[in-house]
Amino acid sequence: MTGWASRAANRTVVGLVLLFLWTPIVVVFVVSFDTSTFLRFPPREFSFAPYVEVFQTAEFSRGLWISLVVAAGSTLLAITVSTAAALALHRHRFRGSGIVQGFFVSPLLVPHIVLALALLLLFSPLGLTDGYTGLILAHLVLCIPYAIRTISVSLSTADTACEDAARVLGANGWATFRRVTFPLIRPGVVAGAVMSFLVSFDEAVISLFLSGYYVKPLPVALLEHVETQAGPEVAALSVLLILFSIAIMLLLERMTGLRRSLR
């Protein structure tokens, strides 16, 4: 195969993959402006009424607030635990450290529905269902693998000579971490925080098992809304969530250079 034919084949494959990935998003975006009371494609009329209805629906507003609180709490805990664990695993090599590190990322290997059922059986006797505490702890299980991986990568590329120099100059452990270590691993911490927040904010399966009447995150509220009324407001909310995720990524890329921290 000639060079021109190879490049053409590669571009065709990439174009088909992008088309496959973007077609559902484009369809949802177009449907979000429909004036019908049910989902249909293509729309016959266009209006911003579905977006107005999203902000006027109480269950969506309350679900958004609950999702933000749970995502913020689980992200803060995940970053704290993952930073301490990554530092311990990287600075202190011991027999079985690889097994411990694998244990931290093991939730990624378990199907979410299996993990959700296990957490439900564990949290029900403790009274941690239908509450913020149970959801935050459950989402923490999913957030830690992402946070610890990004922080570990930053630690592996950080220059430990700077920490040694700080200790030689009289800095204690906390001062060394605050003034030297943390600035070096900050891109990895930020990347882990972003991924943890988005994973927690979008989690539906575990939230569905552990939520109840009083605490319903936005994904659960959206699923229950679809069961009774699947109109263009559902597509409008989906578009807003996509734009929200993109806005967070772009903002943090501008502030901290997130692209470099994900390499």
Per-residue pLDDT at 73: 92
Question: pLDDT category, 257, cuts 50, 70, 90?
Answer: low
State the pLDDT confidence band at 37, using cuts at 50, 70 and 90.
Answer: confident
Report the pLDDT averaged over residues 171-196.
78
What pLDDT, on a 0 to 100 scale, did the predictor assign at position 96? 67
The whole-number average pLDDT for the span 44-53 is 79
**Contact (CB, 8 A) for 79 and 189:** yes
Stretch 213-232: mean pLDDT: 82
In contact, 168 and 34? CB cutoff 8 Å: no
**Average pLDDT, stretch 42-55?**
79
Q: Is the pLDDT of residue 7 over 70?
A: yes
Distance of CA 224 to the CA centre of its chain: 22
Give the 3-state DSSP-derived string for the chain, with helices as H, strands as E and coil as C: CCHHHHHHHHHHHHHHHHHHHHHHHHHHHHHCCECCCCCCCCCCCECCHHHHHHHHCHHHHHHHHHHHHHHHHHHHHHHHHHHHHHHHHHHCCCCCHHHHHHHHHHHHHCCHHHHHHHHHHHHCCCCCCCCHHHHHHHHHHHHHHHHHHHHHHHHHHCCHHHHHHHHHCCCCHHHHHHHHHHHHHHHHHHHHHHHHHHHHHHCCHHHHHHCCCCCCCHHHHHHHHHHHCCCHHHHHHHHHHHHHHHHHHHHHHHHHCHHHHCC
Residue 19, classified by CB atoms within 10 Å of its CB into exposed (0-12), middle (13-18) or buried (19+), is exposed
pLDDT beyond 90 at 228: no
Q: Which of 15-24, 109-118, 223-232 has the lowest mean pLDDT?
A: 223-232
